[in-house]
Structure 1
Amino acid sequence: MTMKSNVAVAEPVVAPAPAPAERGPGAPALDATSQMEHHDTPPAAPAPAALRHATLEKARRYAVRTAALIMAVVIWHLASTNDFNLFVNFEHVPEPLTVGEAFLAELTGSEFYLHIAHSMQRIAIAYGLAVVLGVTLGVLMGRSKWAEDIILPYIELLRPIPAVAWIPLAILMLPSEQSSIVFITFLGALFPVVLNTVHGVEQTNGVLVRAARCLGASNSAILWHVIIPGAMPSIVTGLAVGMGVAWFSLLAGEIISGQYGIGYFTWTSYTLIQYPQIIIGMLTIGLLGTLSTLLVRLACSPLLRWQPKGARA
């Protein structure tokens, strides 16, 4: 027979730890575990402060870029006014103020805008064709060894030929000067787009392709949702480089076989000994090329939202 004990076993009573506000000056500090319990997550920086910091940083960078351009204009002014002649001769180079006055005079007429309009039209047609055909060929070459073996020899053979060398043949083959200039500009933009697209497609992570295939994705779905997004950084680089080469090729064609265009305007100014207009044409080419490349990057930026920002000081 078993006797039931009437003595209750006393449970140890643990006193709750005093709150941080209740601890006296001589009380021991909380240990690491208690501190983590009271501070689970670090306080986030306030959004207005972060936004203000980003705005100030952007303003600082644009101020540095503007100062760099102003410094170049100052050096140009000093070299022109003092007829600097050491390897580079500035004796016949007009001063910035003279070029500015000539530029304002050009803006008052309509012919200058006509030259710009013709050049922009040729760029739009040639560059659009180069983007469509270049990306298509690049994807085919990057995905198929047969396509690469067939197309790559033509690319490598024709790519080193400069735009000026194409002008006589383009004039002979094509029915008008407009079409020949567009063809030369198209060739200049095509090769950077093709080669960068091939590089991007070939560098796509194969693990992602195999994972998508294991999940039941079709070849077309893998192409549109895995390969092309993965290759997009290289494709965008090719598009930006292709825009710059397109302007270079366009000017070569306009100088030799054009009747209108900013390249024709620049070369005609040289033949007529209008030195300020030469610099106006050059600066206009640089400005149009910069704006065109910026538009390309802005148009492609939504496609690169997934890409992490690089670490740069």
Structure 2
Amino acid sequence: MSAILEAAQTASIRRAAAGQQIWRPARLIRALARIAAVLACVGIWQVLAEHHVSLGFVTFANVPAPSDVVPAAWALLHSPKLPMHLLSSLTRVLVGFVAASVVGIGLGLAIGRYRAFEDTLLPPLEVLRPIPAVAWIPLAILMFPSSEMSMMFITFIGALFPILLNTIHGVEGVDPRLVATARSLGTRGGALFSEVILPGAAPAIVTGLSIGMGTAWFCLVSAEMIAGQYGIGYFTWESYTLQNYADIVVGMLLIGALGMGSSLLVRRAGLALIPWYRMEASQR
């Protein structure tokens, strides 16, 4: 019997190793294809901007080329203001995101689980949801005594609704049979939430947190238009007013990189906390 088990284990190890050998070249090819796609886009951008191509409905006459953006990015990296820009933007985004996470998950669990909260809280939230972040700027200035709080509020608004809606959908998507089984075993109240509802909704919540982090960065430029002397969004807007067009692209790319990196970090951290979901995904 032990010999049979050892043979089976050896065969499974060999199959896994063979699968890894097959997947490694495929992953390398995919990575190279993605890099090539990015380089192709940069090349097209360089040609269009360098030759001031005009397509009628859009023109590249004033668009800086990558050859202009690279020196501007290098200058920003060596600027003494860069740490303050990064610190200001990161603080505003993180404070707004954390507040949106607490409020969005809390309201989402309540609305998704109880009809009374759905009937009383969801309608006004749905009215507020389509309002863009820019439209909140005048009201934010009137509501908060400091411009810093106003900017954090704008990032909060940007992150809130993706987190809220994904949490609601995650709670509503929990299998009713799991809830019925837990109740039959005597699980009630907070234990039902912590042991059944929250784990079942966790994958959707993680998705909402990842999207919310991205939208918080998306709203950063709108937030930092209010006031202030530092911030990546403020740097981007100031570059436009000063007609430093290459710096505009540098600020945009920096916001994109920070948003992508922070969203990926949030998603990876969230998935690490829900190993059962990763096991289900690997079995599909």
Equivalent residue, structure 2, for 1:262:
232
Equivalent residue, structure 1, for 2:77:
107
Equivalent residue, structure 1, for 2:179:
209
1:194 to 164, 175, 178: 164
1:133 Cα shift? Answer: 1.1
Equivalent residue, structure 2, for 1:309:
281
Aligned pair in 2 of structure 1 residues 146, 82: CA closer, same or farther (>3 Å)?
A: same
1:299 matches 2:280: no
1:172 Cα shift? Answer: 1.2
Equivalent residue, structure 1, for 2:94:
124
Deviations 1:32-78 (A, max 9, x none): xxxxxxx9999436143333333333322222211111111010111
Equivalent residue, structure 1, for 2:116:
146
Equivalent residue, structure 1, for 2:255:
285
Deviations 1:161-181 (A, max 9, x none): 111111111111111100000
Q: Structure 2 matches for 1:237-276, cutoff 5 A?
A: 237-276=207-246
1:274 Cα shift? Answer: 0.6
User: Aligned to 1:92, what secondary structure does the other structure show?
Assistant: coil
Compute the TM-score of the two structures, normalised by the length of structure 2.
0.90
2:201 to 219, 231, 247: 231
Deviations 1:206-248 (A, max 9, x none): 1011111112223322211211111112111211221122112
Return the alpha-carbon distance in structure 2 between the equivalents of residues 77 and 151 of structure 1.
50
Return the alpha-carbon distance in structure 1 between the equivalents of residues 43 and 83 of structure 2.
28
Equivalent residue, structure 1, for 2:66:
96
CA contact (8 A) 2:221 2:236 kept: no
CA contact (8 A) 1:98 1:276 kept: yes
Structure with more relative contact order (C-alpha pairs < 8 Å, separation 6 or more) = 2
User: Aligned to 2:12, what secondary structure does the other structure show?
Assistant: coil
User: Aligned to 1:89, what secondary structure does the other structure show?
Assistant: coil
CA contact (8 A) 2:104 2:163 kept: yes
Q: Number of residue pairs matched?
A: 274
Identity level (%) = 47
1:44 matches 2:12: yes
CA contact (8 A) 1:141 1:198 kept: yes
1:134 matches 2:104: yes
1:68 to 23, 37, 50: 37
User: Aligned to 1:309, what secondary structure does the other structure show?
Assistant: helix
Return the alpha-carbon distance in structure 1 between the equivalents of residues 51 and 205 of structure 2.
47
1:174 matches 2:147: no
1:148 Cα shift? Answer: 1.4
CA contact (8 A) 2:54 2:60 kept: yes
Structure 1 unaligned blocks of 5 or more? 1-38
CA contact (8 A) 1:232 1:303 kept: no
Return the alpha-carbon distance in structure 1 between the equivalents of residues 80 and 30 of structure 2.
36
Compute the TM-score of the two structures, normalised by the length of structure 1.
0.82
Equivalent residue, structure 2, for 1:55:
24
Aligned pair in 2 of structure 1 residues 163, 40: CA closer, same or farther (>3 Å)?
A: closer
CA contact (8 A) 1:229 1:303 kept: no
CA contact (8 A) 2:101 2:160 kept: yes
User: Aligned to 2:219, what secondary structure does the other structure show?
Assistant: helix
CA RMSD of superposed structures (Å): 2.1
Equivalent residue, structure 2, for 1:9:
none
The amino acid of 2:43's aligned partner reads V
Larger radius of gyration: 1
CA contact (8 A) 1:99 1:276 kept: yes
Return the alpha-carbon distance in structure 2 between the equivalents of residues 173 and 40 of structure 1.
68
Return the alpha-carbon distance in structure 1 between the equivalents of residues 91 and 8 of structure 2.
60
